[in-house]
């Protein structure tokens, strides 16, 4: 797993291919609605049930690549969990939350330091676009 602070993406490897995850405000809103508006409370307490972790992973995959269907996202989640385990799913979630910046700069910095995940910020948008195209992601306009 690695992350990009500039583009706010987390990259995970599944079956030898890298996939981006984006934990955007719209993903956060969807998760909050599904948790009866208690997402902030859950996150501040470190309470992350599997349902939340799995749904966040699938939504973040689809936010990064609009072509990923629900069925594909479910299959990718399953492959990731069986290959990496539930602790890695939790780690991906927390790194994605931190990289998103939605918890504030200080909290994000602390989370990323604790997770000790490699940062690999792109030097320019061309690098990211090239990597995205290799993974079948259309550039955003």
Any domain includes 130: no
Average pLDDT of the segment spanning 110-126:
62
pLDDT digits (tens, 9 = 90+) for 65-81: 999 999 999 999 999 99
| pTM of the complete model | 0.75
How far apart are the C-alpha atoms of 122 and 40, rounded to whole Å?
30
Across 30-39, 72-81, 97-106, the highest mean pLDDT is recorded for: 72-81
Any domain includes 139: no
Residue 141: the pLDDT is: 44
Residue 36 structural domain: 2-122
Residue 123: the pLDDT is: 47
Any domain includes 76: yes
Residue 118: the pLDDT is: 60
How far apart are the C-alpha atoms of 67 and 26, rounded to whole Å?
17
Any domain includes 55: yes
Average pLDDT of the segment spanning 45-50:
78
Any domain includes 87: yes
Any domain includes 133: no
- pLDDT(131) > 70: no
- Share of residues in the chain with pLDDT > 90 (%): 33
Among 58, 52, 56, 53, which Cα is nearest to 36's? 52
Query: How many structural domains comprise the chain?
Result: 1
Residue 78: the pLDDT is: 97
How far apart are the C-alpha atoms of 58 and 70, rounded to whole Å?
8
Residue 41: the pLDDT is: 77
Any domain includes 129: no
Any domain includes 103: yes
């Amino acid at each position: 797993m690695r992350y990009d602070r500039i583009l706010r993406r987390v990259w995970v490897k599944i079956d030898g291919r890298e996939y981006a995850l984006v934990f955007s405000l719209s993903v956060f809103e969807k998760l909050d609605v599904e948790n009866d508006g208690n997402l902030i409370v859950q996150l501040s307490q470190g309470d992350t049930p599997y349902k939340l972790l799995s749904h966040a992973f699938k939504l973040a995959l689809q936010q990064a690549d609009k072509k990923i269907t629900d069925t594909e996202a479910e299959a990718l989640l399953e492959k990731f969990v069986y290959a990496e385990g539930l602790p890695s799913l939790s780690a991906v979630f927390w790194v994605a939350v931190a990289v998103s910046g939605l918890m504030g700069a200080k909290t994000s910095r602390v989370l990323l330091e604790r997770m000790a995940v490699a940062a690999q910020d792109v030097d320019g948008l061309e690098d990211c676009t090239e990597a995205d195209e290799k993974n079948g992601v259309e550039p955003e306009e």
